[in-house]
Each structure stands twice: as C-alpha cells, then as structure tokens.
Amino acid sequence: MIVFDLGCDNDHRFEGWFSSSEEFERQQKENLLTCPMCGSQTINRLVTAARVNTGRTEPSVPSPYEQDAAQYANFDAARMLKLISHIVESTEDVGRSFPEEARKIHYKEAPERQIRGTASPQEVDALRDEGIDVIPLPVPPHLDGKPH
C-alpha cells in the first residue's frame, strides 16, 4: 500500500491509500475520489516530504497536518466502512432528490426520517445556509445504490 497526502479544491487535506501510483491516477481520472469533508471530486496529490529510514530512534516532530489529523488517528478504514455501512442500512436513499427532500423534512412538509442521497457541493452549501445539517459521505461503489 502507498499512502498519499491528498487535497481538494476547498483546501481540505486528507490521506488516501492506494495499491500503486497508477491506481491513484486511474481513480483520479475516473472521478472516483471524493473529499471526506466536503464531497468535492476535484482531488489532487499534495507534495510530501520524503522519509528516509536512518535507523535512528529520535522522536520526530509531527507536521502541522499530522497534528490536525491526530483526532482521527483511531478512525481507520475498517471503522469508516463500518460507519458508512450502518448509515446506508439505516437511511432511505432518495437519490438526486436529496436537497428537495431535506428541505421538506426541515420545513416539516414531509415526515421526519433519516435520508441519504446525492447533492452537488453547491447544493450542500445552500442547504447549510438554510440551517439544514448535511454531511457529505464517501460511499464505496459496492454500497452505492443499496436499498435501505
């Protein structure tokens, strides 16, 4: 596995794990990568300092990125998949009508229920501006479209 530092067009930084550089490039080219914080699909690989193993055991000073990411240290890929699976199983998929359904629920024009669906980054921003809590969530292809 190769770990790359990635970033989206909204300046969010995160890690991506890939089997090879070619696999990263393939997924990037096919728009399969999504920012876990905002849902943007404009993802780029960030410049990373090389690490040389000298055998020394001196404690290293964490980078600012490592310090910011420390709060997620115990949230590995398996836990993320378990969380996403739970959300998929316990919510109703409303597809592209997500923004409309979220508004109806928020304004009490539809029964309250847990929903998921698809929204553009602009639609997510508009929902948030209206005081509607939404969280972009990267759903793996094998779970996408799974009924509730």
Element (H, E) at 85: helix 77-89
Say what the alpha-carbon torsion angle 15, 80, 27, 45 is, to the nearest 10 degrees: -10
Q: Answer yes or no: pTM beyond 0.75.
A: no
Residue 27 has pLDDT above 60, yes or no: yes
Average pLDDT, stretch 7-36? Answer: 87
**Digit-coded pLDDT (tens) for 52-101:** 555 555 555 544 434 434 444 455 667 777 877 888 888 999 989 999 99
Could you tell me which residues come within 8 angstroms of residue 16 by beta carbon, excluding any fewer than 6 positions away?
Answer: 3, 4, 6, 24, 33, 43
Q: How many residues does the chain have?
A: 148
